[in-house]
Amino acid sequence: MFIMSEDSQRTQGRDAQSSNIMAGKAVAEAVRTTLGPRGMDKMLVDSGGEVVITNDGATILNEMDIEHPAAQMIVEVSESQEEEVGDGTTTAAVIAGNLLGEAEDLIEQDVHATTIVEGYHEASEIALEAIAEQVNEADVDDEILKQVGESSMTGKGTGGLTAESLAETVVEAIRHVETDDGVARDNVTVHTQIGASSNATELVPGIVLDEEPAHDSMPREVEDASIAVLDVELGVRTGDIDAEYAIDSIDQLNTAIDAEESEVRGYAEDVAESGADVVITTDDVDDRVSSYLASEGILVFENVGNSDARDIVSATGARRVGALEDLEEADFGAADRIRAENFGDDDLAFIEGGAAAETVTVFVRGGTEHVVDELERAIGDALDVVATALASGEVVPGAGATEIAIADKIREEAAGIEGRKQLAVTAFADAIDIVPRTLAANTGQDPIDALVDLRAAHESEGRAGLITTGEDVTIDDPFEHGVVDPADVKREAIESATEAATMIVRIDDVIAAE
């Protein structure tokens, strides 16, 4: 009797566990060499020849065409980490892979998968306690926030800029969107533009749009701008059906032309008389209207996207108007300055210092597409972690110091756990050691020797991380060197890695339908 299709494939027991664990470990290994300030980049080439060069864990795993369901779970760990806290994606994936490796050794020693799962969950609770103990007691001020941002970007592609100078821009951006209700991270956007050194990267107190003036004669800059945002076509009205009109004389033709000109000029005069300096519409603007408004010194942007129109309304305090006759001064938004600039073949509009300015833009420059793409990813991660640190007010030492503390506390607590579950708890601590070991390996150090030295320094001094300064690698207190991470990044990495690893370990039957 056939219960499943003849084409179905089924893997059970140890074979299923081994296959899933091997797949998860392979994915983690793929990103392990990118971890830390001396981590290497990956070049990813898709079937269409598109190239991505990055050392961002989430980007690498997303670009890899992974089909194995267990391996996909590790990718989801990275995605969850990116979505929740914005950084630590490689750390989470590497920890998950090493948890699977330790679990594989336990399974070979006949430790039941359920026992491993229980031990891992208990160890993760101890790990969260260890993270809480490592939180810096000092208030999270701008200096610490800069250190958080700089630590996040160190080792990532930042073009000719140093992580320190970028971190200042990141902190300024996050502080701008800080409110009594928290940090409005979504109000910080990143806009990239190829064609200059990354040193030209700047913070724009407003928004940047891919738009150009509707007419070449229009002003390129307007200060103290009154802005009208319209959902109106400024041109000759056309019917919804095809129609033909018979004209029998020159007089009739002239009358038709005059009527059309009158309609067009009426639109232009209505806009000019409204008092608006800048007009932004989501629809078309007739060339004759544009020409007239240009002569009146009015700057117009046409065919603006709906999402961009919403951003403009948010930044300037304007109200969108659907009919020109409804336009009133109360509908106007305001901005300190609106300017249109040309960058090679591209035109951009800068709307700065709006009356209701809730949005700021990090305007990223770079010489090539690969540079600006990687710089955009680095700044995006830094913005996320700085916002996370500011919102929680909790930071912990980086450079592997927190992981050393976690592993040490888990081993201490493991002594009081009975039965085979103790093996799983101890294995969890061994898995956490992968972070400082990988940091050491990626800086050219011997991983075992570095781990021994880190543990000894932790026992004697309380905090010990692998500090990279120039060509030197030393063991010291990360706080003294400004190597700082948000506590929430560490918590999320532990929790998401544990959940993925335990889910994979519990699978003992894989059924694949063709």
pLDDT in tens, 319-339: 888 887 778 888 888 888 898
Mean pLDDT across 229-246: 62
Catalytic residue positions?
Answer: 56, 89-90, 381
Q: Is domain 206-356 classified as CATH 3.50.7.10? A: yes
pLDDT tens-digit readout, 134-144:
888 778 888 88
pLDDT tens-digit readout, 144-153:
898 888 888 8
* Average pLDDT for the chain: 80
Residues 382, 149: Cα–Cα separation, whole Å: 5
pLDDT tens-digit readout, 250-276:
655 455 454 555 556 666 777 777 888
Element (H, E) at 461: helix 447-461
Region(s) of the chain under CATH 1.10.560.10: 10-136+396-512
For tokens 């110091």, the residue is 401
Proportion of the chain in helix, strand, coil states, percent, rounded to 5: 50, 20, 30
Mean pLDDT across 378-384: 86
Mean pLDDT across 369-396: 86
Q: What pLDDT is recorded for position 512? A: 57
pLDDT at 38 > cutoff 70: yes
Which has more pLDDT, 80 or 511? 80
Which has more pLDDT, 112 or 164? 112
Backbone angles phi, psi at 77, to 5 degrees: -60, -45
pLDDT at 302 > cutoff 60: yes
pLDDT at 479 > cutoff 70: yes
Residues 290, 311: Cα–Cα separation, whole Å: 23
**DSSP 8-state secondary structure symbol assigned to residue 332:** -
As a whole-number percent, the residues of the chain with pLDDT over 90 amount to 5
Region(s) of the chain under CATH 3.50.7.10: 206-356
Q: Sorting pLDDT into bands at 50, 70 and 90, what band is 160?
A: very low
Q: Which range has the worst mean pLDDT, 17-26, 104-113, 346-355, 409-418?
A: 17-26
CATH architecture of 10-136+396-512: Orthogonal Bundle (1.10)
